């Protein structure tokens, strides 16, 4: 289940594309061909759901739906106002939404009018009925209420009065059909990506956040599973206490589960969620694994996460129920942050590999974090989507939120440990990841390209300006495919790919 391999972390929004944002069309397939040429056997993405607040893939309107903004629209006119930076482009979500949503709606209407889709669309609706019906009605109601969250809707709709829902379903039938067709298109295009990845020997790794957004079809449809006031407001909310990323902690704003209610329901919603994830992905990263052992509870009206309390999570009983329903499943436990012996005991019980991050490995005096202690049954990262890039991290000691002297000492020790010398620091760090004993090594694409902090994907605790990184094909140096594959072969991580004439063949695959 866990062969020695290498992966690249890149969200589909970060791909090149004609509409100001990456998509699941030709660019995604070209990306898979590039991964194959480099010997990379794993592509990790962030959650694929329709984004809401802050454009974050961790705050989506449904844990089951796909993001329509990722749809490829090959027959639509391309935008001409993409914002460019010297080394990469960035997604301007406001402009992309204004430009692309009308095109997506037209594509969905064409599907509805095309008899060749009728049978497949009907089968999709039936197969996904458990979440699709509620999701489409939820999004149609959001449109009808100008984007207002469900708990601000009229009482009868917020509390799901059956007669009010039936009336809304009839009144919004056209919008609902369009939204269902958008999800059908997403499923079709993602399946093509899956098929292409499988043919290329590339496994897909998805991301399942522990929490869902307050303003989501999931919470609106299943309010009894969450700790809410009767009017839908948060009684308590999720977050983490002060940590490496923030002196005031991270206040996430997600509702916390009523785990007694979830357990009484046989964990049915969670099992359905994971079952759906494993129809999309070969491997799933379970975000904030420590929250299943104990989670940080903050008052619903708090403005920071400083004042909270640890509450017990569902523990082993939850995972036992998942395994009974789904069998053994390949899950990576995101075990970063405040990790206690109890959390590690739970991870050992379920036998999920944890995560090691090289940017945390060189703190002065902390021998336990060193790469020579990394276990084989683990996934090593140079950094995650929440970290700075390697080059940004390496040059940020002066601006560090840590003690500046300690930060400088940390980088100096990293340089000695990695024997970096005058060599490019991103290659030295990536080599350390690939050389490690961990069975899986994953690097963000920004690190392969050697980009600085402006290419960072997310800065925890910052409400705006995240998730927008994109690259252009022209940003990829011509020697990168062959160089990376050689490194992966050196450390026994390259997938077996037919090769002919080294660099020439690799460049032909990627550059055309």
Give alpha helix (H) positions in 257-367.
259-264, 268-280, 316-326, 341-350
For 419, the 3-state DSSP assignment is coil
For 180, the 3-state DSSP assignment is helix
Q: Residue 474: CB partners within 8 Å, gap ≥ 6?
A: none
Instruction: Specify the residue for token string 């893939």.
Output: 57
Kindly report the backbone phi and psi dihedral angles of residue 284, in degrees, each rounded to the nearest multiple of 5, phi listed first. Answer: -125, 130
Which of these is catalytic: 55, 215, 334, 388? 334
Q: Is 161 a catalytic residue?
A: no
Q: What element of type H or E holds 90?
A: strand 89-90
Q: Is 81 a catalytic residue?
A: no
Which of these is catalytic: 287, 297, 410, 447? 287
Which of these is catalytic: 156, 243, 265, 386? 386
Under DSSP, the state recorded for 156 is H
Q: What element of type H or E holds 111?
A: helix 93-113
Under DSSP, the state recorded for 256 is P
Q: At what angle do helices 118-127 and 173-200 cross, to 10 degrees?
A: 90
Among residues 446, 389, 210, the alpha carbon closest in space to that of 314 is found at 210
> Backbone dihedral region of 99: left (phi > 0), alpha (psi from -120 to 50 degrees) or beta?
alpha
Q: How far is CA 417 from the centre of its chain?
A: 31
Instruction: Specify the residue for token string 């939204």.
Output: 179
Among residues 165, 146, 147, the alpha carbon closest in space to that of 155 is found at 165
Q: Report how far residue 263's alpha carbon sits from residue 286's, in angstroms, rounded to the nearest whole number.
A: 19
Q: Is 287 a catalytic residue?
A: yes
Q: How far is CA 461 from the centre of its chain?
A: 17
Under DSSP, the state recorded for 151 is G
Q: 67, exposed or middle or buried, with CB in 10 Å at 0-12, 13-18, 19+?
A: buried
Catalytic residues: 287, 334, 386
């Amino acid at each position: 289940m866990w062969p020695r391999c290498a992966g690249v972390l890149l969200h589909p929004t970060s791909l090149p594309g004609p509409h100001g944002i990456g998509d699941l069309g030709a660019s995604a397939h070209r990306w898979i061909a590039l991964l194959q040429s480099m010997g990379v056997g794993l592509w990790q993405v962030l959650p694929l759901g329709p984004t809401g607040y802050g454009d974050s893939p961790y705050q989506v309107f449904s844990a089951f739906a796909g993001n329509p903004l990722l749809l490829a629209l090959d027959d639509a006119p391309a935008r001409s106002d993409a914002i460019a930076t010297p080394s990469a482009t960035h997604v301007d979500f406001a402009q992309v939404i204004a430009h692309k949503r009308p095109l997506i709606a037209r594509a969905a209407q064409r599907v509805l009018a095309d008899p060749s889709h009728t049978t497949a669309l009907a089968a999709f609706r039936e197969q996904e009925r458990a979440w699709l019906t509620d999701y489409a009605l939820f999004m149609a109601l959001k449109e009808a209420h100008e984007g207002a969250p469900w708990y601000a809707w009229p009482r009868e709709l917020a509390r799901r009065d059956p007669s009010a829902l039936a009336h809304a379903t009839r009144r919004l039938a056209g919008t609902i059909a369009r939204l269902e067709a958008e999800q059908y298109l997403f499923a079709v295009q993602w399946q093509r990506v899956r098929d292409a990845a499988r043919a290329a020997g590339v496994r897909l790794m998805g991301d399942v956040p522990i929490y869902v957004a307050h303003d989501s079809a999931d919470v609106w449809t299943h309010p009894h599973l969450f700790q809410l006031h009767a009017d839908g407001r948060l009684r308590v909310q999720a977050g983490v206490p002060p940590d490496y990323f923030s002196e005031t902690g991270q206040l996430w704003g997600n509702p916390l589960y009523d785990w007694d209610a979830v357990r009484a329901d046989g964990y049915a919603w969670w099992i359905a969620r994971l079952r759906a994830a494993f129809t999309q992905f070969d491997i799933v990263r379970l975000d904030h694994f420590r929250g299943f052992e104990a989670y940080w509870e903050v008052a619903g009206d708090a403005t920071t996460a400083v004042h909270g309390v640890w509450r017990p999570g569902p523990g082993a009983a939850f995972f036992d129920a998942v395994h009974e329903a789904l069998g053994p499943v390949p899950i990576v436990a995101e075990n970063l942050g405040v990790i206690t012996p109890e959390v590690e005991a739970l991870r050992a019980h379920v036998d999920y590999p944890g995560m090691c991050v090289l940017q945390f490995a060189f703190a002065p005096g902390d021998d336990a974090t060193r790469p020579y202690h990394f276990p084989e049954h683990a996934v090593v990262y140079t950094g995650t989507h929440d970290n700075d890039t390697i080059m940004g991290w390496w040059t940020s000691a002066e601006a560090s939120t840590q003690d500046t002297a300690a930060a400088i000492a940390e980088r100096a020790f990293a340089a000695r440990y990695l024997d970096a010398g005058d060599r490019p620091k991103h290659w030295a760090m990536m080599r350390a990841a690939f050389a490690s004993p961990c069975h899986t090594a994953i690097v963000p694409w920004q690190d392969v390209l050697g980009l600085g902090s402006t290419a960072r994907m997310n800065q925890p605790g910052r409400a705006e300006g995240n998730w927008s990184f994109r690259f252009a094909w022209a940003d990829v140096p011509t020697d990168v495919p062959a160089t990376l594959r050689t490194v992966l072969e050196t450390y026994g991580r390259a997938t077996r790919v037919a090769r002919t004439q080294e660099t020439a063949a690799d460049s032909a695959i990627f550059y055309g």
